[in-house]
Amino acid sequence: MNGHDFRDIVSGARQDLLARIARPFLTGLELPFSCLVASRNYAYDHRWLSQRVAAVPVVSIGNLTLGGTGKTPLVTWVAQWFQQQGFRPAILSRGYRAGPDGSNDEAREIALNLPQVPHLQQKNRSQAAVTAVRSFQANVILLDDGFQHRQLARNLDIVIIDAMCPWGFGRIFPRGMLRESSHALQRAHVYCLSRADAIDSATRSTLRRAAIDCGGDKPWVEIVHRPSCLIDVHHNVTPLASLAGESVVAFCGIGNPAGFRHTLQTLGCKTIGWREFPDHHHYDDSSIQDLERWIAQFPSTSQVLCTHKDLVKFSTDTLSGLPLRAVAIDCHFLQGQAILETQLRSIVQKLS
């Protein structure tokens, strides 16, 4: 079962026989999983399990739900903000589905955007924090996807709520998309609504009230992911205006394909072919050949689009004789930028 099928089943979008059989089965697995998560959180909350404290301030950027919520653009923005203030950030992540070189697609994407920022991928992030400080002289740590990683204490917990799937269909994995109960928001310091432009202001207000009901009144930030340009594997940049009126095919292997489709709809092009792969998909020779056969079915298309996270896995700038380009995404604030900057500044004042 791929990510798209799983989402359709747990959301109720699929009503076929397989989906109707799967949902009760997944419901039976939900209780033991949620009990394990709740027990672990209880142990940390009551200090039965101890947290390790890093030598420098730690900022976590995470989320409640599975799949892509738009963390990477915000991680990039926060790291750049610290750099602009004269600090030396380092990014720590688990390294899920890392390749032979020890890095995964997200690491390679971050490396392109932040070449001067050390990025350590290691399951033991407490030890990685020690390495970041000792070996790279980092004076602030960013935990990428760190909300559920409780072993390393943090000074600021930023929790992203995805406007396109804010509460994981109201159920905990594997019956839904929640990693833990929405009441875990009580641990958060800042709520950040991502893809805020996908919903209207009234719905955004409703989501904010729901977050307050779950976790209390906390600073509220709204961000959008705006495409900035097209980029190929050689880092050549093409203006977005070149897409106006063009017919394109697009594919992605990310946690939330709907987010990429939403972005494509804003670019003025016509997407005549669309294909989804599982999150962190590895594009081996067989996958690439299959992609090229699929692309050849659309003779009127002018180019092939994907996400930056997908592009870093390719060494070619063409597929089926057509240009292969990624849509580069930047993080922009609808509201709350000053609030977030105040929160970030407050935890590093002692370093100044």
Q: What is the pLDDT of residue 5?
A: 85
Q: What is the mean pLDDT of residues 338-348?
A: 94
Contacts of 2 (CB under 8 A, 6+ apart): 276, 277, 278
For the chain, the 3-state helix, strand and coil shares in percent, each to the nearest 5, are: 40, 25, 35
Whole-angstrom distance, CA of residue 282 vs CA of residue 297:
23
Buried b / exposed e over 47-65, threshold 16 CB at 10 Å, is eeeeeeebebbbbbbbbbb
Q: What angle do CA 131, 98, 57 make, to 5 degrees?
A: 30
92-106, 153-167, 228-242, 293-307: least confident range = 92-106
Q: What is the pLDDT of residue 108?
A: 79
Per DSSP, 48 falls in state S
Whole-angstrom distance, CA of residue 311 vs CA of residue 281:
11
State both tokens at 193.
């609504």
Torsion of CA 35, 41, 43, 47, to 10 degrees: -170
Global pTM value? 0.89
Which residue type, as a one-letter code, is found at position 348? V
State both tokens at 35.
């009990």
Contacts of 227 (CB under 8 A, 6+ apart): 240, 263, 266, 267, 327, 328, 329, 330
Taking only the tens place, the pLDDT of each residue in 48-91 is 999 999 999 999 999 999 977 788 899 999 999 999 999 999 99
Q: What is the pLDDT of residue 332?
A: 95
Q: What is the pLDDT of residue 22?
A: 95
State both tokens at 15.
């009503």
Q: What is the pLDDT of residue 103?
A: 63
Taking only the tens place, the pLDDT of each residue in 251-261 is 999 888 888 99
Torsion of CA 287, 293, 294, 295, to 10 degrees: 110
Q: What is the pLDDT of residue 258?
A: 83
Whole-angstrom distance, CA of residue 246 vs CA of residue 241:
10
Buried b / exposed e over 150-175, threshold 16 CB at 10 Å, is bebebbbbbbbbbbbbbbbbebbbbb
Residues of the chain with pLDDT > 90, as a percent, come to: 81
pLDDT greater than 70 at residue 352: no
Give the domains, in start order, of the chain with CATH numbers.
3-45 (no CATH), 58-219+336-351 (3.40.50.300), 226-330 (3.40.50)
107 or 336: whose pLDDT is higher?
Answer: 336
Q: What is the pLDDT of residue 77?
A: 96
Contacts of 174 (CB under 8 A, 6+ apart): 10, 26, 29, 30, 33
pLDDT greater than 60 at residue 102: no
Report the 10 Å Cβ neighbour count for 76. 21
Residues of the chain with pLDDT > 70, as a percent, come to: 95
Which residue intervals of the chain are DSSP H helices? 3-11, 17-45, 71-84, 105-113, 125-136, 201-215, 257-264, 285-295, 308-311, 337-348
Whole-angstrom distance, CA of residue 35 vs CA of residue 180:
10
Give the mean pLDDT of the chain.
92
Q: What is the mean pLDDT of residues 159-164?
A: 95
Which residue type, as a one-letter code, is found at position 53? V
